[in-house]
Amino acid sequence: MGDFNDILEASEKDGGRPRTVQSMDAFCGFVTASNLLDLGYEGCPFTWRNRQDDGARVVHQVAEGSDHVMLLLYTLHSSPRRASRFIFYPRWSALERCHDLVKERWRRGFRGSRGLQVFEKLKWVQKGLVHWKRQEWRNSKICIDRLRIELQTELQACEYDGKKELLKEEYWKLKSRVQWLCKRDKNTKFFHSKVLVRRRVNRLLGLEDPSGVWHAEAFDIRRIAESYFQDLFSSDNPMGVGAVLECVRAFVTSQDNMSLSQPVLEDEVLVAVKQLDPIKSPGSDRFIGSFYQKFWSTIGDDILGLVQSFFHSGRMFRKLNHTHIT
């Protein structure tokens, strides 16, 4: 394969005269109009070097006797397929059976602290939703395939139903994580392409250890990542911290401290819940913001008790405090 000998943005070029935004508009328009996707690369970020005799590499391919690089495209991905993870989909909240299931599962009692009880209830609801999803054929891929067939049938019969097209669009919007573009504007194709690009960008093929050795096995990748963040967040036990803090001016007055120490009210927690982005990527609990908003009448008392308990004791159940590092 060859290249287009052009760039989409200034960061793809190093040295020489800077490129203006206007000079890249034609190529950007060509990529958009042709529905092309950026597949990323492996190796050197630049595919051409002027007056360099060591060549460049894409997917570890070295060009001999040329100042350009041959692009080698692998269409088959050799890394093992990961098991799909549970994510609560907003469209479920419109189904009465889903509401009944959440109410039924959330009523189960668990022993332990407030944090442990909420954690176990979320797990119990998740298990119920997974079973319901499989039993009721709520699998997203199956739904999309079925909707596609029904849409084609209705279009041929001149009985077009826009609701089914909207369901497809809502599904791919959630997957794409695009926040600025609204649905109901036939953006399904755009959302789908964003999902493909995001998956390719997020795919982790391997990591280099501190010695510069490349590792592609899952066990080695996990070991290197854990070691990196353990070193990053470990303290070197510095000396004289107290003397430094004495030089820091206090900005929180005693009146501010009294206001901040007041008990947390239900209205304050509810306002914070309503401010959650409904479809933003979920945390380790796998539930997006719309779940807490749509089912607040069922789960609100337990969430409120958890928040008030944390502000009173200053302690949080450890597993509820887990997060994803991206």
pLDDT value at residue 68? 60
Tens digits of residue pLDDT in 230-263: 888 888 888 888 888 888 888 888 889 888 888 8
Backbone φ and ψ of 279, nearest 5°: -120, 10
Kindly state whether residues 111 and 190 are assigned to the same domain: yes
Using alpha carbons only, give the angle 75, 76, 79 rounded to the nearest 5 degrees: 135
Tens digits of residue pLDDT in 120-129: 999 999 999 9
Residue 63 domain flag: yes
- What mean pLDDT, rounded, does the chain reach? 76
* Number of independent structural domains in the chain: 2
pLDDT value at residue 180? 47
* Cα separation, 33 vs 157, whole angstroms: 30
* Cα separation, 100 vs 122, whole angstroms: 15
Where is pLDDT greater, at 12 or 192? 12
Q: How far apart are the first and last CA of the chain?
A: 32
Kindly state whether residues 101 and 69 are assigned to the same domain: no
Residue 299 domain flag: no
pLDDT value at residue 204? 77
Residue 64 domain flag: yes
Kindly state whether residues 197 and 129 are assigned to the same domain: yes
- List of residues 6+ apart from 82 with CB closer than 8 A: none
**Banded pLDDT at 101 (limits 50, 70, 90):** very high
Kindly state whether residues 111 and 187 are assigned to the same domain: yes
Residue 182 domain flag: yes
Whether residue 320 has pLDDT greater than 80: yes
Token match 């067939």: residue? 149
Kindly state whether residues 136 and 196 are assigned to the same domain: yes
Tens digits of residue pLDDT in 275-305: 998 888 787 888 989 999 999 999 999 999 9
**Banded pLDDT at 271 (limits 50, 70, 90):** very high
Residue 81 domain flag: no
Entry pTM:
0.57
Question: In which domain, by residue range, is 134 found?
Answer: 97-202
Q: Which amino acid belongs to residue 309? A: S
Kindly state whether residues 187 and 139 are assigned to the same domain: yes
Kindly state whether residues 67 and 101 are assigned to the same domain: no
Tens digits of residue pLDDT in 36-84: 766 666 555 555 554 443 433 345 454 555 666 566 665 555 555 566 6
Kindly state whether residues 108 and 165 are assigned to the same domain: yes
Whether residue 306 has pLDDT greater than 70: yes
